[in-house]
Structure formats: C-alpha cells, structure tokens
Chain A
C-alpha cells in the first residue's frame, strides 16, 4: 500500500520551504539545462572514409545520429504536471522500488537501403530499418 508512504511524502513536502515551486521559471529551467537537454546529435558515417568503396556501391555513407542529454520536467508538451503525476503514480504502483527516470531516446527512426557486393560478386540491396534517428525525446 502506498498510502502511508504518500502521507509521509506529503508531510515531508509540506514542511519543506516553498521556494522550490517559486524558484525556477520555465526560462530558468531552460537556461540551467540548456547545455545538456535531450536532443539529437549528428554523426555521419562515411563508407568511403572507412575504405569500403570497393564493395559498397551506394550510399556514400549515412547519418548515424544518436540521442543524448538530460530529461528534465516538463518532459515535453504532452507531459504536463498532471500527466507526469499520473505516469509517476502508475509506474510506482507497478514497481515501487523503481524511481522512474525519463530517458532520452529516439522518437522517430527512418530506414536506409545499402547496395553492396558479396564475396561472390553478387549484388545485394538490403533495407535496414530504424537506422537514422530523425527526432529524439524523453521516454
């Protein structure tokens, strides 16, 4: 039962000084977290740079972007305080020991196709799903 704990938490919260909620406005959040906010980082892998142009016909390379950065409240447009509290509670009910921590991960992925020779000089055109990160977000 989480009742006791929740009462305990409420009691704790009520004793804390209120400057927490008065403190950082949205702008401050952004300023303080600006440098490490969850976002897409671009990285281009060039097959030519890897010395593979003898067996990879196309493409020349691909954007191997990745997601990195801190997820801080408000997580994103959908997660207002109410939704966040609901999610927090649901996760807590499922697994009280876990402190849910939003993670920065892809929210939109695209495929690429690679055209290459195999050892027998046959030509292979293969579609690789979820290769290029188009957008990141907090899960």
Chain B
C-alpha cells in the first residue's frame, strides 16, 4: 500500500489519478482527515524560528527511524539491524530513543519557554533555567520516557584540557529573596573539548509535572570547572536561546496512548 517512498521524495504512484479537489470537496476531505487524525481543528503553529530548529529536526530523525524500521521489517531483519546502526551513529536519534520508540504511540517535543542567566543575585552561582509547557499532553497519559537535551560546543581553545562538572536540578520551590530549593537530578563530568548533544533522563520529573502542573517550576543547569569555580554555562559551551537554531535546548517525551480513539464510520 505504500505507494510513496518513505525516504522523503514522496512521488505519488503513477497509477493514482491526480484530481484537483474543488473547494467544497477539499473542505470535506480536510474535515474527514482531521477526524481520522483525532484533531479538533487544524493546528496553526507560529513558526517564528523557521520550520526546522532542533526539536523538529530531532523528531524528523525519529520519524525517519520509524519509517526505515517499517521498511526494514518488510525487507529483512538484517536491514533492520543496519538501520539501527545508522540510527546509533546519527547525532540526533540515538539507540536509546529508538528503543523508547518501540513502545511509544506518541512522542512530543517541547521548546524551552524561559531562560535567563543568574544575574538577579550577583553573589549567586551561575545557573540557567529552562521551562517547558506540558499542558498539551493528553490528560491521563503517563510518560514512558522523557529526555532533556542540551547541545555542548567545544571550548578547548579557552579551557584546554580542563573538565567541567555539569549539574541538572529540578526546581522544587522558588523564593523571591534567595535561591530556589533544588533537587539534584544528575551530575556529569565533561571534557572542555567535547561537542554534541547531551541527554538527561527526566522521566520521573515529567510525570510529576504532569500529575501536578503546579510543581512544574522547570530545571536549572549549573557548571563548575575542575577547581570548583562556578562558570556560566555559555562559557562552558552549552548552547542557549541565543545559539544556533538547530542546537536549541528542548525536551522530548515518549508515551503510550491509553484511550483507543474509535472514529465513527462515515
């Protein structure tokens, strides 16, 4: 049935009769397809930063992984293994994501809503905050896996062979006059010369945010040099909002759909 190749150049099978739909028929078809996709209306995204920044690129990589896996199942297991290897080597979708994909019906990526450096309290240690709006996740769904993804650039010209200690915290409670209460999610030692995507598992945190949105106070990231000196994440090479579009930080959540969507036959 796949009369179009899944690898992007979707030329339509010559056997199909190309027919231009008239306006009314087109609107009818649009309503029909939206009902099949389970969407109340057609989304109108504000693609201010162009269509393909980091999150869509990552998701497109996942989509192609699924499509190539489907094809590989039709062709042979060997191909499937091959597509897994290529997936592993690709900078975006890693083997881990492919594993998550196998038992997820839905994947959503969330762009970072707010981010500012710690200029509020000069004596405060450097940190960067990230927040994500999970309200679009269908009610009652449980996240089977969630990742926070940060891109690190090489800064060996400044820090040579130094290493950094990166810490990711969940913000538990905010205070107006002092630092927020934090819960350490993960700490990781990195080389200054390292370059690429860093993935942090925030599955438990995401499920907490889903269950009780009032606790969704975001994440904090801080960096120290090997001598324990706090430095700004930007100096350490972490890409933030002012960095390249395709390296913007984002979050991705994998989950199974519990409700089975039955469409009324027409």
Contact = CB atoms under 8 A, between A and B. Distances in A.
Interface of A: 40, 42-47, 49-52, 54-55, 57-63, 65, 110, 113-128, 131-134
> What DSSP secondary structure best describes chain B's contact surface?
loop
B63 interface: yes
Interface stretch (B11-19, B75-83, B173-181, B192-200): B11-19
A42 B56 contact: no
Contact of A63 (B2, B46, B109): B2
Given A52-B30, A119-B45, A124-B108, 12 more contacts: A42-B13, A44-B4, A49-B26, A50-B30, A51-B30, A58-B63, A62-B4, A119-B43, A121-B45, A123-B59, A125-B66, A131-B36
Contact of A117 (B37, B43, B67): B43
A102 B96 CA distance: 46
Contacts of B47: 54, 117, 121
Interface of B: 1-4, 6, 8, 10, 12-13, 15-16, 20-21, 26, 29-30, 33, 36-37, 42-47, 51, 55-56, 59-60, 62-64, 66-67, 70, 104-111, 133, 136
Contacts, number: 126
Contact of A61 (B12, B26, B30): B12
A115 B1 contact: no
A123 B15 CA distance: 33
Select the residue from A49, A61, A116, A125 with max chain B CB neighbours within 10 A. A125
Contacts of A119: 43-45, 136
B45 A120 contact: yes
Contacts of B51: 57
13 contacts: A42-B3, A42-B16, A44-B4, A49-B26, A50-B26, A50-B33, A58-B8, A62-B4, A115-B60, A122-B136, A125-B62, A125-B108, A132-B1
Contact of B109 (A47, A61, A122, A134): A122
The 5 closest A-B pairs by CB, nearest first: A60-B10, A117-B45, A125-B107, A121-B45, A123-B59
A44 B111 contact: no
Contacts of B104: 127
Contact of A57 (B20, B60, B111): B60
A16 B46 CA distance: 73
A118 B45 contact: yes
B136 A118 contact: yes
Contacts of B6: 59
A106 to B, nearest CB: 10
A123 B108 contact: yes
